[in-house]
Amino acid sequence: MRALRIPHPGTLHLAEVAEPVAGPGEEIFRPQLVGLCGTDLDLIDGLVDPAFVRYPLTLGHEWVGLDPAGRTVVTEGLIPCGTCVRCAEGRENLCATYAELGFTRDGAAASAVAVPRSLAHEIAPGIDPLAAVIAEPASVVYRAMERAIPASGARILVIGDGTIGLLAAALARVWEPERVDLRGLRTEQAILAEHAGVDRFLTRRAAKGYDLVIEASGSPAGVAAAIAATRRGGTLALLGYLGRDVRFPLDVDALINADLTVLGSFASTSASWRSVVELINAGTLDAGWLVTHRFALTDYVAAVDALRHPGGARGKIVLEIPQG
């Protein structure tokens, strides 16, 4: 079968590889759409912490496809041990021995992928696969929102106009906030922010006094703006990675004086996946609008170029995996 492979950092190509063999408890799934994100660029470029990646590798941790019975499914990317203390707590994202599709084991940018059946979630008939392919990043965002627990009527600001930021703005509505504003740098993203349901799309410094600020830009300037925008006693949720070698000067005294709750949120859990799939199946989260670019698997070079060099309104970029 064909697979989009990273044999080593700096190289990406289509290769002919053997079909995967299902291990104990696993099934073979047939991917249809695979989403690409900034972390995929880091994997290609060798910028991901070596503790979280194993080369050679088939790309693809965001995907939707078919199970052996022909049903549309998404699957969780993290494959936990299921027996450690963190797993027992429902914090599978902190499992010390987890594997992960598209990171430490072959992902879904291929004709077939092997995944534990227990990690599969069925998508309801009639749901567009484009609305389901965003399940993985949505689950990451949902977990952060669950940790932040915004009160009904909260004023929420999202910083960052990429996929994570746009999904954060859309999902924030589940908690019935008073308003959701989004701050970004690209005016072209305004149309996507409108689809996300934001009250205001800001391209300059946001007003202060937000109850919850979600930092999804992954930039030092974004973090500084997020701290400044959070009201005293408010909550700041960090979702955007700055990069392994980036250091941010933190004014600890200011955080203490502002009585801020600052939380980092890593990856997703089975619980956040279940919640997101329920929202997708109910039609509450219909984020097919987020997919702005579609490429055939054979056009992966153009897809990666679009990921590196955004032009115009750009949301999720997906690869279409040929069937048969």
> Per DSSP, what are the bridge partners of residue 213?
157, 236
> Could you state, in order of their start, the residue ranges of all structural domains in the chain?
2-134+287-320, 138-264
Q: How confident is the model at residue 87 (pLDDT cuts 50, 70, 90)?
A: very high
Write down the pLDDT at residue 224. Answer: 93
What is the per-residue pLDDT across 14-58, written as a single tens digit (0 to 9) for each? 999 999 999 999 999 999 999 999 999 999 999 999 989 999 999
Q: Does domain 138-264 have CATH number 3.40.50.300?
A: no
Query: Burial letters for 42-73: b for 16+ Cβ neighbours within 10 Å, e otherwise?
Result: bbbeebbeeeebeeebbbbbbbbbebeeeebb
Residue 286 identity (one-letter amino acid):
D
Mean pLDDT over all residues of the chain?
A: 96
Phi-psi region of 77 (alpha: psi -120 to 50; beta: other; left: phi over 0): alpha
Token duo for residue 248: 């941010």
pLDDT attached to residue 68? 98
Please tell me which of 47-51, 275-279, 320-324 the model is most confident about, judged by mean pLDDT.
Answer: 275-279
pLDDT band at 324 (very low <50, low <70, confident <90, very high): low
Mean pLDDT in residue range 119-135:
98
Mean pLDDT for 266-287 is 97
Write down the pTM of the prediction.
0.95
pLDDT for res 205: 75
244 pLDDT more than 80: no
Q: β-strands 113-116, 230-238: how paired?
A: unpaired
Q: How confident is the model at residue 242 (pLDDT cuts 50, 70, 90)?
A: confident
CA distance between the termini of the chain? 10
Read off the pLDDT band of 206 (50, 70, 90).
Answer: confident
Provide mean pLDDT across the span 273-293: 97
Of the candidates 138, 134, 194, 132, the residue with the CA atom closest to the CA atom of residue 161: 194
2-134+287-320 maps to which CATH number?
A: 3.90.180.10
CA-to-CA distance for 32 and 154, rounded, in angstroms?
Answer: 38
Task: State mean pLDDT over 216-237.
Answer: 95
